[in-house]
Chains A and B, each alone.
Chain A
Amino acid sequence: MDKFGMHSQTEQLHARHIGTGNADTTKHQWLTNQHRDTLAHYVSDDSLATYISIAEGESAARTKFNMLQRMRQPCGPPPAQAAED
C-alpha cells in the first residue's frame, strides 16, 4: 500500500543514515546531529582543522582531539522531556 508513501523505508533510512530525522525529531536531536556532522567535517578536512587550530592557538592534533571529544555531547545534555513539550 505504502510503497511510495511516507513510511516505506524510513526505518532502513534511519539505520543507515544517522543524521536523518522524522516528524518526532526534537530540536536538540536535530542540532546534535548537525554539530556532529560539522565537527566530523572539521576533523576530516585538514585545512579547516588547521584554520581552527590557528584561531584557537592550539596544535592541530589537540584541536582535532578536542573536537572528537566534543562529538559525544556537542550541545550538552538533552533538555528535560517536559520542557520540550
Chain B
Amino acid sequence: MSDNLKAQLEAERRRRKELADSSTGSHSLSTDVKFDTDIYNTSDKFAGYDMSIDTDPTQDTVAPPTGRFGITAPRELIEELHGEGAEDDDDPFKALQRTRGTNRVIADRESDYQKRRHVRQLSPERTDSGDGGVSYSEAMRKNQLDREKADLLAKIKKAQDTAEEKRVAGEPLQPTKRRWDVETPVNPSSTAAPKRNRWDQTPADVGAVAATPRRNRWDETPQVASGGGVAFGETPKRVRSRWDETPVMVGGSAAIGFGATPAGNIGMATPSAAQMAAGTSILAKQQPQGQPDAMEARNLFQTDEELDSLLPKDGYAIMEPPPTYVPIRTPARKLMATPAPLRGSDGFHIPEETRHVDFDIPKEVPGVGALPFFKQDDMQFFGKLLDGQSEEDMDLAEKHERQVLRLLLKIKNGTPPMRKVAMRQIAERAREFGAAPIFNQTLPLLMSPSLEEQERHLLVKVIDRVMFRLGDLVRPFVHKILVVIEPMLIDEDRYARSEGCEIISNLAKAAGLPAMIATMRPDIDHVDEYVRNTTARALSVVASALGIPALLPFLKAVCMSKKSWQARQTGVRVVRQIAILVRSGVLPHLRSLVDCIGHGLDDEHLPVRTATALALAALAEAAAPYGIESFDSVLKPLWLGIRKHRGKGLAAFLKAIGFIIPLMEVEYANHYTREVMVILIREFQSPDEYMKNIVLKVIKQCVATPGVPVQYIKDEVLPEYFRNFWVRRMALERRQYHQVVETTVELANKVGGAEVINRIVLDLKDESGVYRNMVMEAISRIVQSLGAMDIEGRLEELLMDGVLYAFQEQASEGQVILDGFGVVVNGLGTRAKPYLQQITSALLWRLNNQNPMVRQQAADLVAQIAPVMKSCGEDELMSRISVMLYEYLGEEYPEVLGSILGALKSIVNVIGMTDMQPPIADLLPRLTPILKNRHEKVQENCLDLIGRIADRGPEYVSAREWMRNCFSLLDLLRAHKKAIRRAAVNTFGYIAKAIGPQDVLATLLNNLKVQERQNRVCTTVAIAIVAETCAPFTVLPALMNEYRVPELNVQNGVLKSMSFLFEYIGAMAKDYVNAVTPLLEDALVDRDLVHRQQAASAIKHMALGVAGMGNEDAVLHLLNHLWPNIFETSPHSICAVLEAIESCRVCLGPGRIVQYSLQGLFHPARKVREVYWRIYNMTFVASQPALVAYYPRIENDGDNVYRRYELDYIL
C-alpha cells in the first residue's frame, strides 16, 4: 500500500469521525462499527468503494435473474462481456456438460430454429360459444393482422434498404454499424425479444409478439417518479455504484433471465413464466422476516440534522410539506418498496445473496413432504405452495389449483414412488379438478427455459394421462397443448419425437377432428415459418391418428387455397409428413393424395413447387414398389420442371423423379433414366451439398431399377461419377461419405464388383487416411455382397497390395480397414494363399511393434483371417503366429491382451485341440492367472477360450488345473457384464462335464455361504447348469443335503438352484418330483418369507415341466401347502405364489383352481375377496372355455334363474 493512499484514508476516517460526532444520535453507515482490528485490517477495507447507496424507495429496482451467480470481476471485463454478446449467455462449459450428460436442460441444446418455440404464446383457450375465450373467427382475424403487419414491416425494411443503398452510394465513408444503431427486424417474429441497451430509443414496440423487451442488468433502472432527483439538480446522471451489480432479492417487475420466454399479456388466460415471476414476491417477503433489525436500521427516516450535514448550506430551502401529504404508515409496503441489503449496516460483507437464497430453498414443501431437490426455477411455479396460507378459507377452485400444483411438484421433483402415486392421483382425479387448473399449471411449466429432458418427459406423461380421462373437456386447451407439444416433433431426440406424436394423436382422438381442424386452421398460414412447419407435422400426426380419408377434404381445400401461398405450402407439407409417418399406409389413398397436391407443381411460388416435389418424392418412397399409376398425372409437370428449375427447386424435382422411376415398368424406367441422367451428370459438378446428396440418392434409385441396361451405366455414368465423387474432398463430410459409399455399392451391384473396384483400387494408396477409409469401406461392402469371384489377375494383386498398404498405414483406430482386410481375404479364399506369407510376416512384425494399437490391430486381424489360413493349408504359418501370440500373453495393455486372446481363440477353433501349437497343456496354465484380470474384454475373451478348451479338449489338462480354474471362475460370477457371467456359468458346466460334477459342485455349494448376493445368485445358476449338463441325479442329492445346513442364505440358495434347475431340465423333472416334495413342503411352511417365495418359484418351474406326466398327486400336495400363502403382501412373494398357482393350473387343470377359489369369492372380508377374485380372474382369463364345466351349481333365487338346465339334459 502506498503512503499517500494511507494518508488519504486517514483523512477520510477523520472526516467521518467528525461528521458522526457532530450529528449525535443519528445512524451513520459505518463509523460506529467496531472491528476486531487484530483480525481485520480495517484501514483499507473501504478503499475504492462507493460509500453511498441509492436507496430511493420510489425507484423500482430491477431484479437480476435469480439462480445466477453474483459477478465479481473488474467492471471493464463485465461490461465488455455484456456489451457485445450478452444476449446468449454462452457458457463454454455447457457443451462439455452436455457431452458428459450432466446438463440435460433442453433449451441449451436447441438450434436457433428450435429456439423459436420460445416466441410462441400460450393463447387463451378457444371457445365456440365465445364466452371468455377466443373464438375461431377472432383467432383468424388476429392471424390476418399478424400477416399484414409482417408484410408492412417487410416493405418498410425494403424501403429502408434501398434508401441505405442510395446513401451508401452517395457517401462512401459509411460508419461501421454500431450496436446502438436501431435495426429493423428482418423477421418480426424471430426477433420478438430484441435486446435493448441504454442507448436505444424509447422502447417502441417493434416485435410483433414481444410484450416485455429483454433487459439486461446493466440497463438504467427504470425511474418511476424521480422526485428525489430534483434535489440533486447538478447530478442528473445516476452514480453507478458497486451495489448495482449485487443481486437484490426483490420481486421485480421484469424477469430478466427469461427474456426469451414469451411474456404474455396480462389478459392471457395462462400466466407465463415471466408473469409468474413478476407476481411472485415470496422471496422478497421471506427475506425481510429474516433480518428485521437490518431493515429498520436501513429504513429509518433521515433526521433534519443528517440532511443538514449532507446538503450545502446555501441554495436550498426547507419546504413545508403540502397539506394533503400523508406519510406511509403501513410498514409492509415500506419493506416491500425498499431494496434492503441482506446483511445489516454492520460493515461491508461480500455479497452472498444468491448462495444464501440457495440455502433458503426449502427441501420440504408443506403438503408435499421432503423432496430430493428443489431448484431455484421451481420457485416461480411452486412458490405459491410456500406462502404458508391455510387452505381452510379458500374456495374450491383455489384448493384444486394448489392440489394440482402439489401433485405436479411431486411428479417433477419427487422420488420415483412419490411420482408414481402423484401420477395416478392426478389421472384419477382429473375430471374432479377440471381441465383448466391442470393445464394452466402444466403447460407453463413445459415452456420454462430451464426444463430438463426428464422433467419434460414426466410432464408430457401427465398431459397424456389427464387427456385420456378428460376426453372432450380438453377441447378449449387444444391450441395451448399444441403450442407446447409441437416443438417436440422437430426435436433431435427420436424418443421425444415419438412422444410428441403420441400425445398429439391422443389429443386428436380426445378432441375430435372438427376441434383439431378449427384450432389448427389459423396456424396453417401463420406468418412464422416455424409455426407453419410444426403445424404441418402436427396435422400429419392427426391424419395418421384419425385416418387419412377424414382429413382429405380439408387438405384438398388447404392445397387449393387462393388466399395465401403459405397455406398451400403447408398443405403440401402435411401430405409429405403423412407419407413419412405412415409409410406404406398411404397406398389406399395414394391417388387422392397425389391429386390433392399435384397442381402445386405449377404453382407460381417456388416454395410451393419445391414442397410439392418433395412431397411427391416422399409419397413415391413410401409407396414403393407399387402405385406408379397414381403418379401418372404429375409425371409431365415433373418432367418439365427439371428443365425449368435451377438450384434447390431442381434438387427437389430430381428427388421426386428419382423416387418415382423405381416404381415404373422396365422400359419406362429405362427411358426416363436416360432422360434424367443427362441432367444428373450435369449436376455432378454442383458445389451445393444438398444437390450433391440428392443426385447421389437419385443415381442410387435409378441404378437399382431393373430396366436400366448395364452397358449404358458403364459408358455414360461411371466415368463422370468416379471423376466427380471419388475425390478426397468427399471423405471429409460424414453424410456425403456414406452416401457416396452406398451409391457406389449400388452401382457395383449393377455393373459388377471388378468394374468398380478397378476404378478405385489405386486410391487405397492415397495419402489421405480418411479417403483410404472410404475406399476400403466401399471395397469391403462390395466384396461382402458380391464376392471376389470376378477379381482376377492384375486387379487381385493390386487389391491385395492396396489393402496391405492401407492396413500398414492406418493411423486411427477403427474397424473399417480391419474389417475390410478380413472381408477381402475371406472373399479371395484359397486364392489368398500366395499373399499369406507376406501377410504373416507383416503381422509378426506388427505384433512385435512398440505401439500398442498396432499390436492390437494385428491380433484382431489374425482373428479375422485364421479360417482362411486354415483353408489354404498354411498351418505352419498359423503355428508360428500362435506361438508368437502365446509369448505375448504377458501383454500389459488390456485391450491388446484381449485381442491376443481373441486371436488365439480363433486359431484354436480352426486348428483343433490336438494340433494346436503351443500345446493346450501349456496354454491353459498361462490362461488361469489371466482370468484374474479386471478388464472386461480380457475376461470375456479369456473365458471364451477356456470354455472352448473345456468343451473340446478337456483331457489335455489335468483335473487339478481345471479345479484351479473353477476357483478363478467364481470371481467372475459377479462381473458387471452379463455376457461374462453367462460365459463363466457355461464354463462351469463344461468343466463339470470334463472332470465330473463332485468337485465342482463342492466348490459351488461352499460358495453359497458367501455374503454377497450377486455371487450367490450366479452360483445357484451355475449349480443348475452343472445339474443340466451332468444329469440332475448327480447334483440333487448333494444339493438337498446342503439344505440341512441351518443357515438362511444356504437354504435359500438351495431353493433357488432348484428353481433354476427345474427351469432348465423341464420334463426331465418327472423322475425327481417325489424326491424333492418333502423339501419343498418344508420350505413352504417355513417362517422365513424368502423360503416360501423361493419354494413357490421352484414349484412354478417344476409344475410346468411335469404337466401331463402323471405327477398330479405330488403337485396337488404342494398346491395345498402353497395356497395359504396367497395372502402375502410383499410384491415379490405374492407374485411368486400366484405364478406357482398358475403353473399348478396348467398341471392340474383349471377346475381344481376354481374349486379352491370358490371358497373366498364372497367372503365377508374384503381383503380376502380381493385376493380370491384375483386368482379367479387369473384362471378365467387363461382358460375361460374350460371353466364352463366347472362352475358350481347354484339354486334359483326368487326371480332369478341361476341353474343351468342344459347341463342336466340326458339323452
Asked if B1132 and A22 make an inter-chain contact with CB atoms under 8 angstroms apart, the answer reads no
Complex Cα spacing A42 to B653, Å: 64
- What is the CB-to-nearest-CB distance from A30 to chain B, in angstroms, rounded to a whole number? 7
Asked if A22 and B1211 make an inter-chain contact with CB atoms under 8 angstroms apart, the answer reads no
Complex Cα spacing A4 to B1171, Å: 12
Asked if A1 and B1201 make an inter-chain contact with CB atoms under 8 angstroms apart, the answer reads no
Complex Cα spacing A61 to B595, Å: 51
Complex Cα spacing A45 to B1176, Å: 24
Complex Cα spacing A38 to B1205, Å: 11
Q: Which of B66-74, B351-359, B1077-1085, B1186-1194 contacts A (4 or more CB under 8 A)?
A: B1186-1194
Given contacts A19-B1184, A41-B1185, A76-B1199, contact A25 B1204 (CB under 8 A): no
Given contacts A30-B1161, A41-B1188, contact A1 B420 (CB under 8 A): yes
Given the complex, which residues of A lie within 8 Å of B1132, measured CB to CB?
4
Given contacts A3-B1131, A28-B1200, A38-B1191, contact A55 B1170 (CB under 8 A): no
Given the complex, which residues of B lie within 8 Å of A82, measured CB to CB?
none
A27 interface residue per 8 A CB criterion: yes
Name, among B1161, B1169, B1177, B1198, the residue most crowded by chain A CB atoms within 10 Å (CB to CB). Answer: B1177
Q: From residue 29 to 60 of chain A, which have CB atoms closer than 8 A to chain B?
A: 30-31, 34-35, 37-38, 41-42, 51-52, 54-56
- What is the CB-to-nearest-CB distance from A20 to chain B, in angstroms, rounded to a whole number? 4
Given the complex, which residues of A lie within 8 Å of B1204, measured CB to CB?
34-35, 38
Asked if B1199 and A77 make an inter-chain contact with CB atoms under 8 angstroms apart, the answer reads yes
Given the complex, which residues of A lie within 8 Å of B1194, measured CB to CB?
27, 31
Return the chain A residue nearest B1198 by Cβ: A79
Given contacts A38-B1188, A38-B1191, A52-B1206, contact A4 B1181 (CB under 8 A): no
- What is the CB-to-nearest-CB distance from A15 to chain B, in angstroms, rounded to a whole number? 12
A62 interface residue per 8 A CB criterion: no
Given the complex, which residues of B lie within 8 Å of A6, measured CB to CB?
1170-1171, 1174
Given contacts A38-B1191, A52-B1209, contact A75 B1176 (CB under 8 A): no
Return the chain B residue nearest A77 by Cβ: B1199
Neighbour of B1177 across the interface among A21, A31, A54, CB < 8 A? A21
Asked if A19 and B1180 make an inter-chain contact with CB atoms under 8 angstroms apart, the answer reads yes
Given the complex, which residues of B lie within 8 Å of A17, measured CB to CB?
1177, 1180-1181, 1184
Asked if A37 and B1184 make an inter-chain contact with CB atoms under 8 angstroms apart, the answer reads yes
Given the complex, which residues of B lie within 8 Å of A10, measured CB to CB?
1177
Interface majority SS (helix, strand, loop, mixed), chain B: helix
Asked if B420 and A54 make an inter-chain contact with CB atoms under 8 angstroms apart, the answer reads no
Name, among A30, A77, A79, the residue most crowded by chain B CB atoms within 10 Å (CB to CB). Answer: A30
Contact with A along B1118-1137 (1 / 0, CB 8 A): 00000000000001101100
Given the complex, which residues of B lie within 8 Å of A34, measured CB to CB?
1191, 1204
B417 interface residue per 8 A CB criterion: yes
Complex Cα spacing A52 to B1211, Å: 9
Complex Cα spacing A54 to B1210, Å: 10
Given the complex, which residues of B lie within 8 Å of A30, measured CB to CB?
1161
Neighbour of B1211 across the interface among A3, A13, A21, A55, CB < 8 A? A55
Given contacts A51-B1209, A77-B1199, contact A37 B1187 (CB under 8 A): yes
Asked if B1169 and A23 make an inter-chain contact with CB atoms under 8 angstroms apart, the answer reads yes
B1043 interface residue per 8 A CB criterion: no
Q: From residue 1162 to 1187 of chain B, which have CB atoms closer than 8 A to chain A?
A: 1162, 1166, 1169-1171, 1173-1174, 1176-1177, 1180-1181, 1184-1185, 1187
Asked if A13 and B1181 make an inter-chain contact with CB atoms under 8 angstroms apart, the answer reads yes
Asked if B1170 and A37 make an inter-chain contact with CB atoms under 8 angstroms apart, the answer reads no
Asked if A55 and B1209 make an inter-chain contact with CB atoms under 8 angstroms apart, the answer reads yes
Given contacts A5-B1131, A13-B1181, A55-B1211, contact A23 B1173 (CB under 8 A): yes
Return the chain A residue nearest B1165 by Cβ: A23
Complex Cα spacing A15 to B1201, Å: 26
Complex Cα spacing A77 to B1199, Å: 8
Asked if B1199 and A79 make an inter-chain contact with CB atoms under 8 angstroms apart, the answer reads yes
Return the chain B residue nearest A20 by Cβ: B1177
Return the chain A residue nearest B1209 by Cβ: A55
- What is the CB-to-nearest-CB distance from B1170 to chain A, in angstroms, rounded to a whole number? 5
Asked if B1162 and A22 make an inter-chain contact with CB atoms under 8 angstroms apart, the answer reads no
Asked if A1 and B1181 make an inter-chain contact with CB atoms under 8 angstroms apart, the answer reads no
- What is the CB-to-nearest-CB distance from A3 to chain B, in angstroms, rounded to a whole number? 6
Given the complex, which residues of B lie within 8 Å of A75, measured CB to CB?
1200-1202
Contact with A along B1142-1162 (1 / 0, CB 8 A): 000000000000000000011
Complex Cα spacing A56 to B1161, Å: 34
Return the chain B residue nearest A30 by Cβ: B1161
B421 interface residue per 8 A CB criterion: yes
Complex Cα spacing A77 to B1201, Å: 10
- What is the CB-to-nearest-CB distance from A79 to chain B, in angstroms, rounded to a whole number? 7
Complex Cα spacing A35 to B1191, Å: 10
Neighbour of A1 across the interface among B417, B1134, B1200, CB < 8 A? B417
Complex Cα spacing A7 to B420, Å: 14
Complex Cα spacing A39 to B93, Å: 71
- What is the CB-to-nearest-CB distance from A38 to chain B, in angstroms, rounded to a whole number? 5
Given the complex, which residues of A lie within 8 Å of B1200, measured CB to CB?
28, 31, 75-77, 79
Name, among B420, B1184, B1198, B1206, the residue most crowded by chain A CB atoms within 10 Å (CB to CB). Answer: B1206
Given the complex, which residues of B lie within 8 Å of A23, measured CB to CB?
1166, 1169-1170, 1173
Given contacts A3-B1131, A27-B1162, A35-B1204, contact A21 B1176 (CB under 8 A): yes
Complex Cα spacing A19 to B1201, Å: 18
Complex Cα spacing A77 to B1197, Å: 12
Given the complex, which residues of B lie within 8 Å of A77, measured CB to CB?
1199-1200
Given the complex, which residues of A lie within 8 Å of B1184, measured CB to CB?
17, 19, 37
Given the complex, which residues of A lie within 8 Å of B1198, measured CB to CB?
79
Given contacts A3-B1131, A17-B1181, contact A42 B1173 (CB under 8 A): no
Complex Cα spacing A38 to B1184, Å: 10
- What is the CB-to-nearest-CB distance from B1096 to chain A, in angstroms, rounded to a whole number? 13
Asked if A25 and B1173 make an inter-chain contact with CB atoms under 8 angstroms apart, the answer reads yes
Asked if B1180 and A20 make an inter-chain contact with CB atoms under 8 angstroms apart, the answer reads yes
Given the complex, which residues of B lie within 8 Å of A19, measured CB to CB?
1180, 1184
Contact with A along B371-384 (1 / 0, CB 8 A): 00000000000000
Complex Cα spacing A43 to B1201, Å: 19
Neighbour of B421 across the interface among A1, A3, A13, A79, CB < 8 A? A1
Given the complex, which residues of B lie within 8 Å of A31, measured CB to CB?
1194, 1200, 1202
Given the complex, which residues of B lie within 8 Å of A5, measured CB to CB?
1131, 1134
Given the complex, which residues of A lie within 8 Å of B1162, measured CB to CB?
27
Neighbour of A4 across the interface among B1135, B1176, B1191, B1210, CB < 8 A? B1135
Given contacts A17-B1181, A23-B1166, A23-B1169, contact A76 B1201 (CB under 8 A): yes
- What is the CB-to-nearest-CB distance from B790 to chain A, in angstroms, rounded to a whole number? 59
Complex Cα spacing A23 to B1169, Å: 5
Complex Cα spacing A37 to B807, Å: 72
Return the chain A residue nearest B1168 by Cβ: A23
Asked if B1170 and A22 make an inter-chain contact with CB atoms under 8 angstroms apart, the answer reads yes
23 contacts between A and B (CB under 8 A): A3-B1131, A4-B1132, A5-B1134, A6-B1174, A13-B1177, A17-B1177, A17-B1180, A17-B1181, A22-B1170, A27-B1197, A34-B1191, A34-B1204, A35-B1204, A37-B1184, A41-B1185, A41-B1188, A52-B1206, A52-B1209, A55-B1209, A55-B1210, A76-B1199, A79-B1197, A79-B1198
Which 8 A-B residue pairings sit nearest by Cβ, starting from the closest?
A4-B1131, A55-B1209, A23-B1169, A20-B1177, A76-B1200, A23-B1170, A41-B1188, A75-B1200
- Could you list 16 further interchain pairs (A-B, Cβ under 8 angstroms) beyond the known A1-B417, A28-B1200, A74-B1201? A4-B1131, A6-B1170, A13-B1177, A21-B1176, A22-B1173, A23-B1166, A23-B1170, A23-B1173, A25-B1161, A25-B1173, A34-B1204, A51-B1209, A52-B1206, A76-B1199, A77-B1200, A79-B1198
